[in-house]
Amino acid sequence: MATSTLPVMGRIAAGTPIEAISEVSSHVAVPGTMLSGNGHHYALEVKGDSMIDAGINDGDVVVIRETSVADNGDIVVALVEDSEATLKRFKRSGTSIALEAANPAYETRVLPADKVKVQGRLIGLIRTY
């Protein structure tokens, strides 16, 4: 089975948002079959437990396909107010976007659509034990 090497672009918050990520911290090999569709792909290390009920744990590496659009229910990398990056479930309602955690300990953030930019959509997960 063919593999591809993706850049790991630092850490993404699955909890409290952290500053936007823009530099390569390492690389990770992923199965070629995971990289379906066109476009660029990258990986991020998860920090926090806000997506734990979606099976995404602190320390996991998520594989992201770059896109600026998302459907309701997609798990996305969202850039909030051009300064915070977070991994959350995306839900659009009218002119608002809800960024939902998958952990009842975290509140859903509802923001005006112009304050949220989708940076990519979750397509895979890598876990090391």
* Cα R_g (the chain), whole angstroms: 14
**In this structure, what token pair is assigned to residue 16?**
């409290």
List the structure tokens of 33. 């079959």
Query: Of 47, 51, 37, 42, which is closest to residue 24 (Cα–Cα)?
Result: 42
Q: 37-47 b/e with 16+ CB inside 10 Å = b? A: eeeebbbbbbb
Q: Of the listed 47, 83, 88, 93, which one is catalytic?
A: 88
* Residue 50 annotated among the catalytic residues of the structure: yes
**CB-CB neighbours of 68 under 10 Å:** 9
Which position among 25, 50, 91, 117 bears the catalytic label? 50
- Whether residue 117 lies in the annotated active site: no
How many residues can be counted in the chain?
Answer: 129
| Residue owning tokens 């300990």 | 105
Residues serving a catalytic function are 50, 88
